[in-house]
Each structure stands twice: as C-alpha cells, then as structure tokens.
Amino acid sequence: MRSLRTDAERAEAAALVHDRQRWLTLRGLPVPARADIPALFGNPQAEPAGLIEDGLLLACMILQREPALGWGEGPCLILGHLHTLPDRSDDTIRLITLWASDFAARLDLPHVRAEALARHPLDADPIARFLNRLTDMSWGIRGSGTGQTGERVARLELTAEHRPGLSALVGCNAREPRSAADERSVA
C-alpha cells in the first residue's frame, strides 16, 4: 500500500475507477451519481493511495483522518472512494481490511470507517451479499444513511488492531492522511 505521488500513478488510479464503474454498470449494480470521482484521484491533495502487487494497481482509495465523520463515535481513518480492480475484489478487500486495521492502530485511531453505496435496503441483494462478505472480514455495519457524497450508503466500521506480522504480506508507504480540518486550514 502506498501513496500515489506521481501523475502517472494517479492517472492509473483514475482509469481503474473508470473501469470499475463501467464494470458495475454492465452488471446493473449501483454506481455513484457523482461523475467526477475518477478526477479526484488526479488531485495530489486528495491523498490517494493504492494497493499495488507486482506493478499492478489492485485498488485505490482516498485516505482521510477525521475527528468525527458524522456517524460513529470518535476519530477514525476513512477509506473514501475505495475501488478495486474488476474481478479481483474479495482477496483485495481482505488485504485492505488487514492493512487498514493495522494502519489506523499505528496512527492511534480506534476505528476505520468506510461507506458503501446502498440504494436498496441493506438486507436486499446485491448489497446484502457484499455486506455479508464484509462482516465475515470483521467489518461492522452501522446502519445506513446519507454518506459524504450525499447518496444513501451503508456505514461500515472496523476496529483498529496492531498486526505486527502483516508487513511481510502488505508493505506500507502511505503518508499519514490529513484531517478535513487540516485541509481547510491549508486552503
């Protein structure tokens, strides 16, 4: 896992997001209404990070450190706009789950939070199957509501946990994300 620092790395992440959105659309699955999500990854101030294996970008996300997200209690690491390479989701999500839990613990944050687009009730497919896989990976479902982008989401939370042996599986060169308050003071 590393920060995406170069223009080429950020362009690759934007292409992955575009490919994932097209893959979801072709399968009749929900896609965020916000059309500029791939462009977010082109902005170095957005703190984009990626999971890379043997030179292949498997996933990308925007990391944020928040004192409060508006749901859940206390500070957290947010995995925003998480996208995986089509047809490689489950194993990639497992690795991200392990890494995010450890990374949050190293930042002295108690939780990792994320949001999954949920246009249907949480107990209806296709979101129910996805959420079941996430709960099997230790994510907790904290209900649904309006997410950071204004769309209906499932709210997900993972407890931070130090995982000392993880570095043999997933290396980390990701920068510590700034909080939204830090970003406002810079602007």
Q: What is the pLDDT of residues 127-154, one digit of tens each?
A: 888 899 999 999 999 999 988 888 889 9
pLDDT at 122 exceeding the cut of 50? yes
Position 68 scores a pLDDT of 66
As a whole number of angstroms, the distance between CA 156 and CA 86 comes to 21
Position 127 scores a pLDDT of 83
β-sheet bridge partners, residue 2: 50, 173
Domain ranges of the chain: 2-177
Q: How high does pLDDT run on average in the chain?
A: 84
Which tokens hold the place of 26?
């072709």
As a whole number of angstroms, the distance between CA 49 and CA 58 comes to 11
CB-CB neighbours of 172 under 10 Å: 14
pLDDT at 178 exceeding the cut of 70? no
- For 10-54, how does the pLDDT look when each residue is reduced to its tens digit (9 = 90+)? 999 999 999 999 998 898 888 887 778 888 888 877 889 999 888
Q: What is the spatial order of strands in the sheet that 111-117 belongs to?
A: 2-3, 48-53, 56-66, 76-84, 111-117, 152-159, 140-146
Position 124 scores a pLDDT of 83
pLDDT at 3 exceeding the cut of 90? no
Please provide the CATH number assigned to the domain covering 2-177. Answer: 3.40.630.30
Alpha-carbon distance values, 55 to 1, 12, 44, 51, 76 (Å)? 12, 11, 20, 10, 29
Question: How many percent of the chain have pLDDT more than 90?
Answer: 42
| Window from 89-98, 117-126, 173-182 with minimum mean pLDDT | 173-182
pLDDT at 89 exceeding the cut of 80? no
Question: How many percent of the chain have pLDDT more than 70?
Answer: 87
